[in-house]
Amino acid sequence: MLAQKKDYFFKNPFYPEKGGIIQKPVIAYEEYGNPKGETVLITHGGLQNQHAAGKYSEKEVLAGTWDDLIGDRKAIDTLKYRVIAVNSPGSMFGSSGPLSINPDTGKNYGPDFPTLTMADMARFFKQFLDETGVQKLSLMAGPSMGSLQTLLFAALYPGFAEKIMAVATSGRMTPGGIAFHRFMKEIIQNDPEFNNGWYQTDKPLYSLKVIHEIARIYYTHETGIKKYFWDTVPEGQNAQFERMDKIRNYLVSGIDEYLTGRDPNSYIRLTDAIDSYSLGYHAESYEKGVERIQCPVLLVNISSDSEFPPYWAYEVADILNKKNPGQAVVRIIESDWGHIGCIKETKKIAEHLKNWM
């Protein structure tokens, strides 16, 4: 399946709740499947993009992050559904964000781009759907940040999505995640080359390289590092040096290419939005906020995920099922991959989704 990048230019401005205005909002997205079918909305992880399925050309080796889920006769069947994969506002991959042109200056917004909340992201998606005539979603789903967007969207717009799936998820941003994001922002903001957000764009900031090395440790469980980069070295006199090399290569390989075009201001805006996330947003209590979700919910967490351990999914399910027994289903995938299991264990996710659907 070939994918194509698309842009939609909003008819109306967008007003973030913390202030400011996005005068000419744009959302980048991809669309797959049956244009006359019921609509499925796919969101993405925080530092990923909207490329959820297919390839941009036959020559490409890798397909979109959820290609095992989306396609003809797959769990999200493109013969049946119209699938829209959206890019989040604040991102660096085409939607309105710090790299966008500020009409007032004719230059990139940079650090002047408005602060966003997770609720802003849900409202941004809703404005896009409203303006393009989508009146209902058959399914909304996403991993990591996308799972948080999905759950909050369902809470803020009860009934708009008939079903939702949240992968690597929680009902509120976890303490470990908030702490790690604080560290990320400190590293960026104290990098002299960041220059208060007005950095030179011709090379990746050293702070981003450091962040991504540490992220590969944080988002991959130690058992995964051992399995894939330690146990593969036979015992011998030089075994420990070979293990050191393999683990180092895992941490640094491809980082310069990966960071090409990545914007540190977007890292700050995205992590701020993620850290603001709670299903208790504008509700009488956290529990009442969770209970606003009316549709069936599939929560899929990864056994070794240190950012969203399985008990966070059970917290949401317990609240929903106490009020409406059977509304929420939790599935835990046994994996050594840690948090990145949400994009590594896609065959298992697809199996759970297909069975649940």
Residues marked as catalytic: 144, 305, 339
DSSP helix/strand/coil, 86: strand
Q: What is the distance between the alpha carbons of residues 259 and 252, in angstroms, rounded to a whole number?
A: 11
DSSP helix/strand/coil, 347: helix
If 0-12 CB within 10 Å is exposed, 13-18 middle and 19+ buried, where does residue 95 land? buried
Answer yes or no: are the C-beta atoms of 120 and 128 closer than 8 Å: no
Q: What is the distance between the alpha carbons of residues 169 and 144, in angstroms, rounded to a whole number?
A: 6
Q: Token digits for 177?
A: 């995640």
Q: Indicate the residue type of 313.
A: A
Q: What is the distance between the alpha carbons of residues 246 and 230, in angstroms, rounded to a whole number?
A: 8
* Total residues found in the chain within this entry: 357
Q: What is the distance between the alpha carbons of residues 51 and 157, in angstroms, rounded to a whole number?
A: 25
β-pairing verdict for 81-86 and 38-42: parallel
> Which strand (E) or helix (H) includes residue 331?
strand 328-333
Phi first, then psi: give them for residue 61, nearest 5 degrees. -85, -45
